[in-house]
Amino acid sequence: MEVAPVTLEGRFVRLEPLEARHAGALAEAASPDLFTYHFPPDELTPAGFAAQIEGLRAAPRFEPFAQVLRETGRAIGITSYLDIEPHNRALEIGFTWIGKPWQGTGVNPESKLLLLAHAFETLGALRVQLKTDARNLQSQAALTKLGAVREGLLRKHMTLPDGLQRDTVLFSITDEEWPDVRRLLEERLARC
């Protein structure tokens, strides 16, 4: 399983390899409340996002994408493959945020459909995991609605920038579960 930069295109969103040219649009789409449970750039400015993008692109076992709204061609969020384990044919989808105006639209389910389809059907993944802050009930509900299976709680899993010891809820989807998850996502998108 070799993960390389790729562009994935749907009806609402195009996932492009994240680059410095996306920084200005991301700064416009961002607001402080989006980063309550997420790792923000040092500043919510084009320069802050450019620095974060540089760091993400340099991170090992990490493949970040800009979520670009097809209607406008503007970046409205970030999502990523991370913790890529080629030997185990496994990876994680995470480091995801979408600007407030596009939450609750077809953008997030379509992004997940594109990433999961590529992982399972092109890369041959056996397992895709998704993690969220234990305090983030909205994200946990979204992952459950997605059809992911809650595996458990990673206690004191990571230290956040403010020093808080974060507990993390772990979800996953396996290759056997993927057809049902695909069907659920396609049904949701048909209603958008």
Q: Lowest mean pLDDT of 32-46, 58-72, 120-134, name the range.
A: 32-46
Report the share of the chain in percent with pLDDT over 70. Answer: 100
CA distance 34 to 44: 11
**Model confidence at 131: pLDDT above 90:** yes
**Model confidence at 9: pLDDT above 90:** yes
What local confidence, expressed as pLDDT, does residue 39 receive? Answer: 81
Judged on CB neighbours under 10 Å (0-12, 13-18, 19+), 37 is middle
In this prediction, residues 71-85 reach a mean pLDDT of 97
Q: Domain residues of the chain, as ranges?
A: 8-190
**Model confidence at 161: pLDDT above 80:** no
Instruction: State both tokens at 3.
Output: 């993960």
What local confidence, expressed as pLDDT, does residue 168 receive? Answer: 95
In this prediction, residues 41-50 reach a mean pLDDT of 93
Global pTM reads: 0.94
Residue 55: pLDDT band (50, 70, 90) is very high
Residue 54: pLDDT band (50, 70, 90) is very high
CA distance 35 to 49: 13
Quick one: CATH architecture of 8-190? 3-Layer(aba) Sandwich (3.40)
